[in-house]
């Protein structure tokens, strides 16, 4: 089961309880428009109760030795792994990700992230001796995690897993668009032995539940993934109570093809990263930057790639791209296609005027794109790739860095050393070199308006720790606290 049977409830203090609000929020299937279920449109009182439960559980959970906390989370990973098919099916219904991709990317990948966090908790140094001082890391406290709909289980485990390893207690506000994997996680954590109140789930809107949690004086930290605009608001709202805030926001990933690289292979790999999950990925590579002399070859490769895509029912094994999440989001993506044409971009693959039934949008590749165009600057969050040509490598770097964002990038070159040299000049948090992919042990996060803070591995755990100096009168008095690995 995925926890959908709890759709009328909130998970607070280890129990499924009714909301103080009678209102419900519909959860619909973006492929069919059918109603899946309805979840609580939670109240400020629900949020207060969840924070109180997390605060009450903090002493117990933070008092668990690190290795015991990790053991609970390892059991959780095993329980979730037994539900891969059910979870993948549920997320496909909520988000529209093709089912085969849901299994691997929406479910197995986040379980891998959780296990990697457990391994990182064992590897990291929880204390360090500096002369007569013992530097110790201890839990930040009560953490609120606010997660998006596009990768619901992944975003949740990356945040909740790290916070729980650190010894924090958590209140999760999942997206009301795709909430059910968070219910399954709550059930799994209970089965794994997590103390009551250490993890809580409150569904509802950002305007009510989210606002109450972000401004709550009993909350010590906020971790959020979503739009840059909402991230700005959360940072400002949390400042009133001086909370720790980690933000993973938007992106406009540049993919730079250097002279001498295999431009066709690079173009197709970039398109694959752009169109995954119908382009609804913050870490998408949505700008392909190629030598002008090789522009025609890149366009040919992209035409071949787009022609091989099948947009349709995400439960059909032949489908490579499902729907966008909603009709409103479809309208937004279509408006970007219109704007691209109006500003002079040339569609070289796909049809910017094509309008499918339902929430489906076929992939489109624009060429003759210039850096100042809207489609080269704004995060579209849809299957739209912009191709920009350059005359020398310095210009390519300038184009790549001409963005408010700085989350991911890629560099393709005839050798890794040359590609790495250019990668070091990109103002982004993560760069793939000749096809290198994101590593769940390495830090995930970006520069500039792509956010603040890092997820994954030891870097992700450190976001949820305070640092304390214990200054002894003599170095011989220093010893490690019990329970640390």
288-316 pLDDT tens trace: 999 999 999 999 999 999 999 999 999 99
Residue 1 is predicted with a pLDDT of: 44
- Residue 182 · residue 201 · CB < 8 Å: yes
b or e along 301-321 (b: 16 or more beta carbons within 10 Å of the residue's beta carbon)?
bbeebbeebebbbbeeeebbb
DSSP 102-146: IIIIIIIHHHHHHHHHHHHHHHS-SEEEETTEEEEEEE--EEEEE
Residue 300 is predicted with a pLDDT of: 98
Going by C-alpha positions, the residue among 118, 120, 92 that lies closest to residue 105 is 92
Is the dihedral angle over the CA atoms 38, 44, 45, 50 positive or is it negative?
A: positive
For the annotated catalytic residues, the residue numbers are 248, 282
Residue 5 is predicted with a pLDDT of: 73
| Stretch (H or E) spanning 376 | helix 374-377
Residue 377 is predicted with a pLDDT of: 98
Residue 7 is predicted with a pLDDT of: 74
Residue 480 is predicted with a pLDDT of: 59
Residue 473 is predicted with a pLDDT of: 87
332-385 pLDDT tens trace: 999 999 999 999 999 999 999 888 899 999 999 999 999 999 999 999 999 999
In this structure, what token pair is assigned to residue 267?
A: 């173009």
The alpha-carbon radius of gyration of the chain (Å, integer) is 23
Q: How many residues does the chain have?
A: 485
In this structure, what token pair is assigned to residue 172?
A: 């999760």
Ranges in the chain, pLDDT < 70? 1-4, 475-485
Q: Which residue has the tokens 């520069």?
A: 447
* Rounded CA separation 4/186 (Å): 11
Instruction: Please report how the helices 263-275 and 295-307 are oriented relative to each other, as an axis angle in degrees rounded to 10.
Output: 50
Q: Catalogue all structural domains in the chain, each as residue range(s) with its CATH number.
A: 4-250+446-477 (3.40.605.10), 253-404+408-433 (3.40.309.10)
């Amino acid at each position: 089961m995925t926890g959908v049977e709890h759709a009328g409830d909130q998970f607070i203090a280890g129990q499924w309880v009714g909301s103080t609000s009678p209102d419900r929020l519909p959860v619909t299937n973006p492929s069919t428009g059918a109603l899946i279920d309805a979840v609580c449109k939670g109240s400020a009182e629900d949020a207060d109760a969840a924070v109180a439960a997390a605060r009450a559980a903090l002493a117990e959970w933070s008092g668990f030795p690190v290795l015991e906390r990790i053991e609970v989370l390892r059991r959780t990973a095993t329980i979730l792994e037994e539900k891969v098919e059910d979870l993948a099916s549920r997320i496909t219904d909520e988000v529209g990700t093709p089912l085969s991709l849901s299994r691997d990317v929406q479910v197995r990948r986040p379980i891998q992230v959780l296990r990697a966090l457990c391994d990182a908790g064992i590897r990291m140094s929880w204390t360090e001796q500096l002369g007569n001082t013992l530097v110790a890391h201890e839990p930040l406290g009560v953490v609120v995690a606010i997660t998006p709909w596009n990768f619901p289980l992944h975003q949740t485990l990356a945040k909740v897993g790290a916070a729980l390893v650190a010894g924090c207690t958590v209140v999760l506000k999942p997206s009301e668009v795709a909430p059910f994997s968070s219910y399954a996680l709550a059930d799994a954590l209970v089965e794994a032995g997590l103390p009551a109140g250490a993890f809580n789930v409150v569904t509802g809107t950002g305007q009510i539940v989210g606002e109450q949690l972000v401004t709550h004086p009993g909350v010590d930290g906020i971790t959020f993934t979503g739009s840059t605009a909402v991230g700005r608001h959360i940072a400002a709202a949390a400042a009133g109570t001086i909370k720790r805030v980690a933000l993973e926001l938007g992106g406009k990933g540049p993919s730079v093809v250097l002279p001498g690289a295999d431009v066709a292979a690079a173009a197709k790999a970039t398109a694959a990263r752009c169109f995954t999950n119908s382009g609804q990925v913050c870490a998408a590579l949505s700008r392909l930057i190629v030598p002008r002399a090789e522009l025609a070859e890149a366009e040919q490769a992209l035409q071949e790639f787009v022609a091989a895509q099948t947009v349709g029912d995400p439960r059909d094994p032949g489908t490579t791209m499902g729907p966008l999440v909603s009709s409103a989001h479809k309208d937004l993506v279509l408006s970007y296609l219109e704007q691209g044409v109006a500003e002079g971009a040339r569609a070289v693959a796909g049809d910017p005027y094509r309008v499918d039934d339902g929430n489906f949008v076929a992939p489109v590749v624009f060429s003759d794109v210039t850096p100042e165009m809207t489609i080269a600057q704004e995060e579209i969050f849809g299957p739209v790739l912009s191709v920009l040509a350059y005359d020398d490598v310095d210009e390519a770097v300038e184009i790549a860095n001409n963005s408010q964002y700085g989350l991911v990038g890629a560099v393709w070159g005839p050798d890794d050393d040359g590609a790495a040299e250019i990668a070091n000049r990109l103002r982004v948090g993560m760069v793939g070199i000749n096809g290198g992919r994101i590593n769940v042990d390495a830090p995930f996060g970006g520069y500039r308006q792509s956010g603040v803070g890092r997820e994954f591995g030891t870097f992700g755990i450190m976001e949820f720790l305070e640092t304390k100096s214990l200054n002894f009168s003599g170095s011989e008095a220093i010893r490690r606290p019990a329970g640390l690995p």
